[in-house]
């Protein structure tokens, strides 16, 4: 039998080449557009990162991350409601430099990684993907928590990874997907206990299926819970007794605020955005069935679970649902795609409206000030070494310890003011006391002192009051 001779490949038809050329060019253009959007989003997340002082929650995390690991777990069990992972990740950064930038840098890295992964996930979805990436890049919620020295930027990243893995598993189940589910689920629950709502939502992807793939999916999702119970269970039970920042009880207004806050800071638009996200979700489920199932599992199911919990306690907060915060953006993006499919001019108008709402809030986010920024700035101006700064109530202590002190955690028993009730004090510069005491307190919670004790005119920004007293 003679050897077969391979025929030379037939030259590609000029017609085929003409058809494929615009497609390849369109792919390249889309790639450049997505790269530009990612670059703009990264710039917003990094802009003037140290321009604002750390707020109370950030100061608490930065100071706590500087504690020795031997003390950290016990301290969190009695003073916080969060698991330890984010503190452990931030510890090397604040050990290298006690600057505001280094305290926030881990969050920025996580948020930028989330944006890049989201763009890669959306890269082949046409106008839907481009609009979705634009919204994610300029979203004020993503930018705010992506710049804050707290755990929420890590949740942004884990939420995107979880959604990507879930969609890939639905399309073609593989063992690697199970490993990734167990891994990112473990990271999530050791970052914030609200991650259990996200994992419960992922369970809905298999419903009542009894095939092997479904059971392996359930087993992978059980791993984070088992590890959490074994490694952090006793501390978590103790944390249930700690004070936490309350959210809102479940109501239509509260639900609209939760969803709307993940899109814009303009509260007047939250109700309209809630309706738009709901309509977009319906379109997404009908038009992109697999992604629609992931959207229901990662965004809708945790939102419903949080709403049920909110019937009994003040639980609803936008940041509690950070893991699914990409959901409203995807729902709005698919609305633009649907409008463009019906009438191109309508699609352009829809894209313009949505982008204006999101981009205007997003570009303002890096320059927004917090409630304590003005007070901290004023203290930095008026205090001199040897002055005593006193803050009340006592639990505001991290704010001045980080922004005015040595940026080292202090023993509470040594920093309570013996004269002013429920107050924490700090000697600026570690010098001998000058006799001047700067008292920082909320406007509506004033501790009265004799007028003759004043050593400087009082200052107030409408939120806080600062007074100078002679000790």
pLDDT tens-digit map of 168-200: 999 999 999 999 999 999 999 999 999 999 999
H or E segment and range at residue 100: helix 100-122
* Token pair for 88: 């452990």
pLDDT at 447: 64
Residues contacting 70, CB < 8 A, separation 6+: none
pLDDT digits (tens, 9 = 90+) for 88-127: 999 999 999 989 999 999 999 999 999 999 999 999 999 9
Q: By the 8 A CB rule, do 415 and 425 touch?
A: yes
d(CA 125, CA 133) in angstroms, rounded, equals 11
- pLDDT at 53 > cutoff 90: yes
Give Cα 358 to chain centroid, integer Å. 16
Residues contacting 200, CB < 8 A, separation 6+: 301, 302, 305
Span 335-357, mean pLDDT?
95
Does the CA dihedral 345-350-352-355 come out positive or negative?
negative
pLDDT at 40: 98
In the chain, what are the domain boundaries?
17-367, 373-470
The percentage of the chain sitting over the pLDDT mark of 90, rounded to a whole number, equals 71
pLDDT band with cut points at 50, 70 and 90 for residue 434: confident
d(CA 63, CA 297) in angstroms, rounded, equals 36
* Token pair for 57: 């929650």
Give Cα 200 to chain centroid, integer Å. 20
Report the SS3 class of residue 435: coil
Span 343-351, mean pLDDT?
94
pLDDT digits (tens, 9 = 90+) for 246-267: 789 999 999 999 999 999 999 9
Q: How far is CA 226 from CA 147, 186, 229, 308, 349, in A?
A: 31, 9, 5, 24, 49
Facing residues of 442 across strands?
Answer: 464
Span 20-32, mean pLDDT?
67
β-pair type (424-427, 388-391)? antiparallel
H or E segment and range at residue 298: none
Nearest to 264 by CA among 190, 348, 325: 325
Residues in the chain: 471
């Amino acid at each position: 039998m003679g050897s077969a001779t391979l025929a030379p490949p037939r030259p590609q038809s000029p017609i085929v080449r003409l058809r494929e050329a615009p497609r390849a060019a369109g792919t390249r253009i889309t790639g450049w557009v997505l790269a530009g959007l990612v670059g703009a989003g990264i710039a917003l997340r990094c802009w003037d990162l140290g321009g604002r002082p750390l707020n109370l929650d950030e100061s608490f995390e930065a100071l706590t991350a500087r504690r020795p690991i031997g003390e950290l777990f016990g301290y969190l069990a009695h003073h916080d409601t969060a698991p330890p992972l984010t503190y452990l990740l931030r510890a090397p950064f604040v050990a290298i430099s006690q600057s505001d930038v280094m305290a926030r840098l881990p969050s920025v890295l996580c948020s930028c990684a989330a944006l890049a992964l989201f763009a890669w996930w959306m890269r082949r979805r046409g106008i839907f993907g481009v609009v979705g990436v634009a919204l994610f890049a300029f979203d004020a919620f993503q930018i705010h928590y992506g710049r804050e020295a707290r755990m929420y930027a890590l949740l942004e990243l884990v939420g995107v990874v979880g959604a990507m893995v879930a969609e890939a598993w639905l399309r073609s189940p593989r063992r690697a997907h199970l490993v990734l589910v167990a891994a990112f689920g473990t990271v999530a629950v050791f970052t914030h206990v609200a991650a259990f709502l996200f994992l419960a939502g992922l369970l809905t992807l298999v419903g009542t299926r009894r095939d092997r793939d479904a059971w392996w999916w359930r087993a992978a999702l059980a791993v984070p819970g088992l590890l959490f119970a074994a490694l952090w269970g006793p501390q978590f039970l103790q944390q249930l007794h700690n004070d936490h920042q309350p959210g809102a009880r479940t109501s239509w207004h509260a639900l609209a605020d939760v969803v709307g806050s993940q899109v814009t800071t303009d509260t007047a638009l939250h109700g309209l955005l809630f309706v738009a996200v709901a309509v977009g979700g319906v379109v997404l489920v009908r038009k992109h069935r697999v992604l629609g199932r992931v959207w229901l599992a990662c965004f809708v199911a945790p939102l419903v679970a949080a709403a049920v919990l909110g019937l009994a306690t003040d639980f609803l907060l936008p940041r509690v649902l950070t893991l699914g915060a990409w959901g409203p953006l995807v729902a709005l993006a698919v609305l633009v795609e649907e409008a463009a499919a019906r009438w191109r001019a309508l699609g352009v108008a829809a894209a313009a409206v949505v982008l204006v709402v999101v981009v205007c809030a997003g570009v303002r986010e890096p320059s927004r000030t917090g409630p304590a920024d003005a007070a901290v700035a004023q203290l930095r101006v008026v205090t001199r070494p040897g002055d005593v700064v006193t803050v009340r109530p006592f639990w505001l202590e991290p704010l001045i310890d980080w922004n005015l002190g040595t940026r080292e955690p202090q023993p509470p028993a040594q920093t309570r003011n013996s004269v002013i009730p429920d107050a924490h004090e700090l000697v600026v510069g570690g010098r001998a006391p000058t006799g001047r005491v700067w008292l920082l307190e909320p406007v509506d919670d004033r501790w009265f002192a004799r007028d003759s004790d004043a050593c400087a005119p009082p200052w107030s920004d409408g939120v806080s009051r600062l007074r100078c007293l002679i000790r």
